Chains A and B, each alone.
Chain A
Amino acid sequence: MSDTTIKPRIEKIPLSEQFFQKLPVLLVPILAVAGLLAIGNPASWLTLTVAGLAMGMMIFIMASGLTVVFGLMDVINFGHGAFVAVGAFVGFTVLAWLAGWTASPSVMLNLTAVLIAILAAMLVTGLLGYAFERVIVMPVYGEHLKQILVTMGGLIVAQQMIYVVWGPDELHISRPEAFKGSLVIGEAAIEKYRLVAVGIGLALFLGMRHILKSTKVGLLVRAGVENGEMVEALGYRIRLLFLIVFMTGSALAGLGGVMWGLYQETITAHMGSEIMVLVFIVVIIGGLGSVEGCFIGAMLVGLLANYTAFLAPKVALISTIALMVAILMWRPQGLYPVVKAK
């Protein structure tokens, strides 16, 4: 084939179109500036912004697995909240065993205890995810209605199992000593734990982004989200990839459960299903299957919930729903829709 017969060309994307594509990234700083203007007091704004980012990061941790599972496997998992709750209870148990370490003034011992609790929660929820995918999800691939029914059933079973193992009462988790209290910056008071949550969430986002963009597994996930059949035709076992992604998503929900439990300082068997409303809103705002969209959606939800709770507490009840409606009216498939060839 000669160059003379075909002149390579590529469609140039107009600048206005490029700006439109990047616009969702600007929504978070735009909302932060709008919040500053509305609140007026920089110290209150800083406190609320850090609280909003922390809340957003924890929702992102719980939602990231769900969105990838939906994008890659086309599975609507209403049972995702079960992993959040189980993760929180496993984390609680480990922290209770390590009460001596969490009560110690040593930051290193505190961090080690939390790290062990997180790893244990991720291990248990990852294994639970394996069983959930094999027993509950695998028989209903491609059948959305059945997926909703059986995963809801799985959630109920998991909640009842929590009652059996940990009892029906809500439990109190005490944060490790190093995570208690606030840092005072000027007139603003910022809870230490919220900074930890922001750090962990940011590290997770950057890690996921690196894996998705720069590794072959990430390439496979991105390709599988778009056209799983073609990935199989290239010689890759997408069912194995499904399982790995589902287990990872479940483990991340477990991590989110520990983080959310420490944030709220109380845990219940229903905490997973309660937080799932926000998680689904974030996944829908971000665009089903998009990790970056999910991250931006979580930040928007976290910030807006905190700003409106301060400015107009009654409006706060509907602020996240209103945000979702506004985003969907602007971009009906979410901020970063993932192309799916079906």
Chain B
Amino acid sequence: MTDALLTLSGVHTHIGPYHILQGVDLIVPQGGVTVLLGRNGAGKTTTLRTIMGLWKASQGDVRFEDHVITRLDTPEISRRGIAFVPEDMGIFTDLTVAENMLLAAANGPIDEKRLAWIKELFPPIGTFWNSSAGTLSGGQKQMLAVARAIIEPRRLILIDEPTKGLAPAIINAMTDALRELKNTDTTILLVEQNFTMASSIGDTVAVMDDGRIIHAGAMQELVDDADLQEKLMGLSLEAHQ
């Protein structure tokens, strides 16, 4: 888990007149879960969207598997094996669960074995297969969003706050699913505000503030150091518990 799968070097992103990312340097190692932490407005979502090509970096490089992908368009980045689960989940509510999954299998028909695994991972996907995605609950929509991202084997999944607004039972279930996903070849870059959840599955961590990475290292190091947590995030893990 030492090779870098994704590297951001001095990435700047502007949205209209706003200078959001101000030189992000980030290394996402191959395998495991890298957690991106930071207060609201620190630039976490912008970082994911810049990697995905949805917002273009104005300066700096995004390198994925030794290829610079900074200037590629979003479909090309997706086809290189990066999936994206946005904060609003991006579910097509007018389509059924089955149609959502069918569209996500962009490279051909759905692999039945993989689908069976996903239905085991997220039981509501099977239960509501032919239901309109718009009628699912918030937690079920989040499961569909993650399920859609893994319907085909991916090298990297970018997940933006998957536990936001969910009930504790659903958060636990989502954490279990991500933990199982961790055991596959897939690498996860997770943006999360819930430090308790993030620390339970994260292997490495990067903390952002004001559009820059202000800390990067092993998750365990941050978990073990309450002073560092306080310094970086203003609140320690102990305070969460």
Contact = CB atoms under 8 A, between A and B. Distances in A.
Interface of A: 1-3, 5-6, 8-11, 13, 216, 219-220, 222-223, 225-227, 229-238, 338-339, 341
Contacts of B104: 234
Given A1-B123, A10-B136, A232 B99 contact: no
Contacts of A227: 90, 92
B94 A226 contact: yes
B231 to A, nearest CB: 35
Give the dominant DSSP class at B's interface. helix
B24 to A, nearest CB: 20
Contact of A237 (B75, B93, B102, B172): B75
Contact of A220 (B78, B103, B124): B103
16 contacts: A1-B120, A1-B176, A2-B173, A6-B170, A8-B128, A9-B137, A10-B135, A11-B135, A219-B95, A219-B102, A223-B94, A226-B94, A232-B73, A235-B79, A236-B106, A341-B90
Nearest to A239: B73
B177 A339 contact: no
Contacts of A1: 120-123, 173-174, 176-177, 180
B59 interface: no
Contacts of A3: 123
Interface of B: 52, 54, 73-75, 78-79, 83-84, 86, 88, 90, 92-95, 99, 102-104, 106-107, 120-124, 127-128, 131, 134-137, 139-140, 148, 169-170, 172-174, 176-177, 180
A230 B90 contact: yes
A80 B65 CA distance: 46
Contacts of A236: 75, 103, 106
A291 to B, nearest CB: 12
Given A10-B136, A11-B135, A219-B99, 9 more contacts: A1-B174, A5-B176, A8-B123, A9-B137, A222-B94, A223-B95, A226-B94, A233-B83, A235-B107
Give the dominant DSSP class at A's interface. loop
Contacts of A219: 95, 99, 102-103
Contacts of A338: 94
Nearest to A225: B94
Contact of B74 (A8, A9, A233): A233
Nearest first, the 3 closest Cβ-Cβ pairs linking A and B are A230-B90, A235-B106, A235-B78
B53 to A, nearest CB: 8
Looking at B104, B124, B170, the one whose CB has the most chain A CB atoms below 10 A away is B124
A231 B103 contact: yes
Contacts of B131: 10
Contacts of A220: 103
A303 to B, nearest CB: 28
Contacts of B107: 235
